[in-house]
Amino acid sequence: MDIEQGNNDKIALSEKCSWFSRCFAKIKSTTIGFLEKIKKIAMDDPRRIAHAIKVGLTLTLVSTLYYVTPLYDGFGESSMWAVLTVVVVMEYTAGGTLCKGLNRVFATVIAGSLGVGAHHIASLCGQKGEAILLGLFVFLLAASATFSRFIPEVKAKYDYGVTIFILTFSLVAVSSYRVDELIQMAHQRISTIAIGVATCLCVSLVVFPVWAGEDLHKMVASNLDKLANFLEGIETECFGEKSNFESLEGKPFLQVHKSVLNSKAMEDTLCNFAKWEPCHGDFSFRHPWKQYQKIGGLIRQCAASMDALSSYLTTFSKTKPIFKADAELLLEIETACREMSSESAKALRELSSAIRSMTVPSLAKCHVSAATSAAENLRTALSNDITVWETIHVAMISSLLAELVNCTKEIAGSVDELAELALFKSTDSVNSAVVKPVSDEEMPQQVTIDISG
Amino acid sequence: MDIEQGNNDKIALSEKCSWFSRCFAKIKSTTIGFLEKIKKIAMDDPRRIAHAIKVGLTLTLVSTLYYVTPLYDGFGESSMWAVLTVVVVMEYTAGGTLCKGLNRVFATVIAGSLGVGAHHIASLCGQKGEAILLGLFVFLLAASATFSRFIPEVKAKYDYGVTIFILTFSLVAVSSYRVDELIQMAHQRISTIAIGVATCLCVSLVVFPVWAGEDLHKMVASNLDKLANFLEGIETECFGEKSNFESLEGKPFLQVHKSVLNSKAMEDTLCNFAKWEPCHGDFSFRHPWKQYQKIGGLIRQCAASMDALSSYLTTFSKTKPIFKADAELLLEIETACREMSSESAKALRELSSAIRSMTVPSLAKCHVSAATSAAENLRTALSNDITVWETIHVAMISSLLAELVNCTKEIAGSVDELAELALFKSTDSVNSAVVKPVSDEEMPQQVTIDISG
């Protein structure tokens, strides 16, 4: 009995040990995974570490307003606003910090003045009347300013400014009811906010600045490179010497355009911030940033066409055709395809490198016209045989439609999953509406439709 | 002389008058245009007016903390934090307000406690040591928290929380150097922030709530409808009785899918907010919102394919072919196309209405399988004639490539514009590298390449 008890104890102990070791292993692997993730984020763009250090530095710098007694005596509790400003204004890019900082300063000054004005008007109406009038002012101003944020132009450029406008007006107007030295308070706050913004701008624009404009510039160039990669892949894998259209599924070059498709949001943000930036490097203050958005739109359209081609090729390579027939026409088409993809790829590479080096893309024109004339020649060659020409056109549309059918099928599958996950009601009454098929011979007077639920 | 002077005066006067009237007319037309824009924004979604009123109301409500003397005596200047909280936390959707509000409360409590802890540790080191140690704490915490915002998961869900975390920790730690009753101050601030958040949540969740989840749900359904519109347009305009593929350019149904292509950012935001919302209407708390993102992705892929088809059709309709040849095959293809587009459209409509009514899309399956079998039949019919089949495939790829060539051309044109606008350097030395063409008959030993810059 004692031995058994001892054995049980040992088993329990070893179980506990293994439980602890498993826990420890799990914690260890999770920690290692997390650290690797952090490392990857930092390695992908080391400027991120610099940004984190810059924010820490700016905050520490601004908090000396508290630590140094003469400064604290000057600003008092308003020093808080400098700290607050740094936390909310400091952005990753210089343009972002400028946009938010200037928005903050101007909105604060305008709203502060309006708030003082509102206080003066309201104070004419006695104690009770003042509270009511101030409440009314705050309501009207907050409601109309909030509505103005739905105007796309305001939303894009001044969204943060409007928030600060409402904030400052409300604070000044409402606290004017309690604070006697309103002007002094407003003055202190505006000074500390200005100090906060100025510190942010100095650090953001001087210490390892990250320019939104430069990022936008590089992003457009690298997106052009991605398109070129796709076309080069097409050339070597589909029309190269050893290519046979087989096993195209899973090839990385067929996925390279995907990230371009979702680049719009990032591009818009960068463009918006770039407009605020002063001249830097090769970029002047009035650099045509809008044009990058236009090019970006065209790039995305191109990527959408690539998506269609890529999914067609993937489906096509599954059917594995054996090429053997009608040599001449096929050869002609293939040569044209090789020409089109290689010349377009060269043109895109040239455009990308022209953007990078900020030189006029003089060679791109030649490549584009070579690609265009290859396309033209093919069109002429094909349209000589009117039957083939028409068949190809209608078959082409049918093939693109078949692609859409595929998409629809996938969407239907996904909605079915949703219906299952979200416990959608089933429409039994519709489901079991059985229409009895009636053969021609019977020809009855009535067709029975049986609905049972 | 006098008469002339008088005439001159009259002319000057009438010029001034006409200047004023022109100015007035311009101001009038601008004002009317602006008001019409505002009216349109309000009419497009009347909930926007409700939101503006709600924000004004909440702010006025919260500012009673200042007006009512017993309340002000309780909270003092900390009342400011309630106003501040309302301005930054109140979002258009209930989910947005919940996300920001809860982020704010939890981040404040955690960072506040940490700040008090940091104060206790630092206060052990004497007056000077305290300032240095507090500065170090603020630097380390702000830097690491800022870096954490680059982790995608943190960015998506807790970005605002991290901002508030840095803000509160810095404020508490830094002001602890000057404020004696730190605990009381922290208590007052947390209470007023909680009051602000609670007021926002009450108004946001109770008074005409705008649910992000519901908006996401409706958006996905309406995107499905747009795809169906496109396919119905294809059916009637391309394969209807009177259709001849002519004058397709500028038809609205060929543009209907465009807005779907850029829906990702909006969808992600709504999905992110929807996850915070409690159960409402037919949506439970754990409604599978992620599945909507999945469906949205497939919808965008479908829209990209439509884009390819649409631009092909537009180019195709420009060439204006006259259909007369090879009747049987063409008829077969056309019938299949009509079937594919109409059945897919019906399937998409069915899916959309199933999502709207939250019922299982039972009929969609039939339509999808009808469309799929039409595509299959066509494939079989075409592949019977192996020559036509192969020609079609290669011609299809070449046609899609020609589309890419077109895109490349447009991109090149747009980059040229950029080069002009941004005054890119021209590479003269490359530009004037003229290769003299040499005819076969001359056959010289050397080819002259003339580079002059």
> Contact at 8 Å (CB) between A47 and A208?
yes
Is B173 in a helix, a strand, or coil? helix
CA distance B240 to chain A (A): 14
Q: What is the pLDDT of residue A244?
A: 61
Mean pLDDT of B66-94: 88
Under the banding of pLDDT at 50, 70 and 90, the label for residue B401 is: confident
Contact list, B312 vs chain A (CB under 8 Å) = 396-397, 400
> Is the Cβ of A416 closer than 8 Å to some Cβ of chain B?
yes
H helices present in B45-181, as ranges: 47-62, 64-67, 69-75, 79-89, 94-122, 126-148, 152-175
Per residue in B31-52, pLDDT tens?
A: 999 999 999 999 999 999 999 9
Q: Does the pLDDT at position B329 exceed 80?
A: no
Distance of alpha carbon A3 from its chain centroid, rounded?
67
Distance of alpha carbon A255 from its chain centroid, rounded?
18
Q: What is the pLDDT of residue B114?
A: 93
B146 or B14, greater pLDDT: B146
CB contact under 8 A, B405 and A325: no
- Tell me the HSE value of A355 on the side-chain side, using a 13 A CA sphere: 31
Lowest-pLDDT choice from A74-88, A203-217, B313-327: B313-327
Contact list, B141 vs chain A (CB under 8 Å) = 56
Mean pLDDT of B319-331: 60
CB contact under 8 A, A302 and B364: no
Q: Which amino acid is at A416?
A: D
Distance from first CA to last CA of chain A, Å, rounded?
66
> Is the Cβ of B207 closer than 8 Å to some Cβ of chain A?
no
Contact list, B309 vs chain A (CB under 8 Å) = 308, 397, 400-401, 403-404
Q: Which two tokens stand for residue A425?
A: 């009601």
Q: What is the CATH number of domain B213-421?
A: 1.20.58
Q: In B149-166, which positions are buried (b, 16+ CB within 10 angstroms) versus exposed (e)?
A: bbeeeeeeebebbbbbbb
Mean pLDDT of A158-168: 93
Model-level ipTM above the cut of 0.90: no
Q: What is the pLDDT of residue B383?
A: 74
Q: Which amino acid is at A267?
A: E
Per residue in A366-405, pLDDT tens?
A: 999 999 998 888 888 777 766 666 777 777 777 788 888 8
Domain boundaries, chain A: 13-44, 48-206, 213-421
**Rounded CA separation B176/B133 (Å):** 12
Chain A residue whose CA is closest to B379: A399
Q: Does the pLDDT at position B241 exceed 90?
A: no
> Is the Cβ of A370 closer than 8 Å to some Cβ of chain B?
no
**Rounded CA separation B295/A412 (Å):** 9
How wide is the angle at C-alpha B65 spanned by C-alphas B64 and B70, nearest 5°?
110
CB contact under 8 A, A298 and B410: yes
Q: Does the pLDDT at position A416 exceed 60?
A: yes
Under the banding of pLDDT at 50, 70 and 90, the label for residue A326 is: low
Q: Which two tokens stand for residue A287?
A: 């650099």
Select from A39, A174, A315 the residue whose CB has the most chain B CBs within 10 Å, as the one to mutate to test that interface. Answer: A174
CA distance B436 to chain A (A): 16
Q: Which amino acid is at B88?
A: V
Contact list, A351 vs chain B (CB under 8 Å) = 411-412, 415
Q: Does the pLDDT at position B438 exceed 70?
A: no
Distance of alpha carbon B130 from its chain centroid, rounded?
47
| Partners of B433 in the β-ladder | B451
Q: Does the pLDDT at position B200 exceed 90?
A: yes
CB contact under 8 A, B407 and A298: yes
Closest by alpha carbon to A322, among B388, B380, B390?
Answer: B390
Q: What is the pLDDT of residue B236?
A: 86
> Is the Cβ of A375 closer than 8 Å to some Cβ of chain B?
yes
Q: Does the pLDDT at position B436 exceed 70?
A: no
Lowest-pLDDT choice from A316-330, B21-35, B205-219, B347-361: A316-330
Contact list, B308 vs chain A (CB under 8 Å) = 304-305, 307-309, 400
Per residue in B404-422, pLDDT tens?
A: 888 888 888 888 888 888 8
Q: For chain A, what is the largest distance between any 2 Cα atoms, rounded to a whole number of angstroms?
A: 107
**Rounded CA separation B346/A419 (Å):** 18
Select from B353, B359, B404, B428 the residue whose CB has the most chain A CBs within 10 Å, as the one to mutate to test that interface. Answer: B404
> Contact at 8 Å (CB) between A447 and B324?
no
Contact list, A329 vs chain B (CB under 8 Å) = 391
Share of chain B above pLDDT 90, in %: 45
CB contact under 8 A, A421 and B51: no
Per residue in B155-190, pLDDT tens?
A: 988 999 999 999 999 988 888 888 778 888 888 888
Owner of token pair 């090019």? A295
Per residue in A249-291, pLDDT tens?
A: 778 888 888 889 888 889 999 999 999 999 988 898 889 999 9
**Rounded CA separation B229/A148 (Å):** 33
Q: What is the pLDDT of residue A330?
A: 75
Owner of token pair 């009512």? B68
Distance of alpha carbon A290 from its chain centroid, rounded?
17
H helices present in A210-357, as ranges: 212-239, 258-261, 264-274, 289-319, 327-357
**Rounded CA separation B371/B382 (Å):** 17
- Tell me the HSE value of A127 on the side-chain side, using a 13 A CA sphere: 5
- Going from the C-alpha of A350 to that of each of A162, A176, A280, A347, B408, the distances in angstroms are 43, 63, 24, 5, 11
How wide is the angle at C-alpha B11 spanned by C-alphas B9 and B17, nearest 5°?
100
| Partners of A359 in the β-ladder | B425
Burial class (CB in 10 A: 0-12, 13-18, 19+), B297: middle
CA distance A445 to chain B (A): 28
> Is the Cβ of A50 closer than 8 Å to some Cβ of chain B?
no
Q: Does the pLDDT at position A165 exceed 90?
A: yes
Select from A162, A268, A311, A400 the residue whose CB has the most chain B CBs within 10 Å, as the one to mutate to test that interface. Answer: A400
> Contact at 8 Å (CB) between B147 and A52?
yes
Under the banding of pLDDT at 50, 70 and 90, the label for residue B370 is: very high
> Is the Cβ of B134 closer than 8 Å to some Cβ of chain A?
yes
CA distance A46 to chain B (A): 11
Share of chain A above pLDDT 70, in %: 88
Q: Does the pLDDT at position A127 exceed 50?
A: yes
CB contact under 8 A, A309 and B401: yes
> Is the Cβ of A14 closer than 8 Å to some Cβ of chain B?
no
